[in-house]
Structure 1
Amino acid sequence: MKVKIILGTAREGRKSEKVARYLLRKATELGWEAELIDVKDYLLCYTHRWKVTPEMERYRAKIIEADALVIVAPEYNGSYPGELKILLDTIYDEYEALPVGIATVSVVTGGTRLLMELKTAMLNYHMFPVGQVLFYNVDDIFEGEELKDEKYKERVERLFGTLEKYARALRPIREEVREKLGVNGHP
């Protein structure tokens, strides 16, 4: 299983990074090949959909090899960060049949509005949002790099279990899509 964890904010002091790094570690502990994709490494001023840039090609290659995604993002004004939107919009067909988990980070709402916005976007990209974990008050639920709350640990385990189930079921569709895109050597 190859999972890409997208950290969807470049804001300094971001609480989402703690969540993303925790999820990355947990995926690795499951024996998955896990990689962090940090939007701050792909800061594009605007989408270049019809002109491929080196950043886009690098991002595209990572998505093509993924069996599943987890998007970690804070809620910004009732939605998700602009830099995440720009990154997601750089490709389209490559997302088809990818199961995606969403981890929201927000002090007040837990990211419920962000969750609704991201689910809608994922469906537009032909991804399958299959689970979510809403992280409230990150400073209160983490002790160092470890989650203190057992319920959060259970939610994360359930999210990864669901991702794996859908990744296996959707693999034939992803293979067909990647073949049509002319991508060889990727299961």
Structure 2
Amino acid sequence: PVCTRRGGLVLVQEIFGVTDHIRDLCDEYAQDGYEVLAPALFDREHPGFEADYTGEGFARAVQLARELHPFDQSLSDVQTCIDALTGKGPVFVVGYCYGGSVAWFAATRLTGVTAASGYYGSLIPGAVDEEPKVPVILHFGRYDNGIPMEGVDKVVARDWPNATVHIYEAGHGFNSDRRKDYHEPSADLARERTLELFEANGG
């Protein structure tokens, strides 16, 4: 952090890797007072992996994430980051796209998490049988072609006491200013809600 430390934060990448967008987010949260770790989850299979937002880049990323990289390894790596930040105040998790799903499972399965914020995680609608153990907020775009609203409705219907679902008038990836679906008002509001969640839980 570049000011008074507010807590630790594990920031989980999109499926495209630890890209410039992810590094920018790390800098922004550091400016807000968070000690940020952003694990390069795919480095075992492809060191330094970064894909662009083209169709070809997406295909490369999907192949790596679904065929070569075990999802449970991502959870293990995030747990390692949480453990490294433990003992110095609250530890939060925020994730985007692939990382949004990881953030959800961090809230339902991992230990040492204070609260989590997950952006447009496509695995979440299929995991509504898992109840979050800590406060979590989820962000979905109404026009996300990869996460149909009927899936989001399943998440909303569970009505967990410590989970809040926000729906934005945007598509997938609305938080990234490098994507065609970038929607600044939604990105600003989701970030504001994320910071409010952290602050409400000691951050």
Give the TM-score, by structure 2 length.
Answer: 0.45
Choose between structure 1 and 2: higher helix proportion. 1
* Greater RCO (CA < 8 Å, at least 6 residues apart): 1
Higher strand share: 1
TM-score by length of 1: 0.48
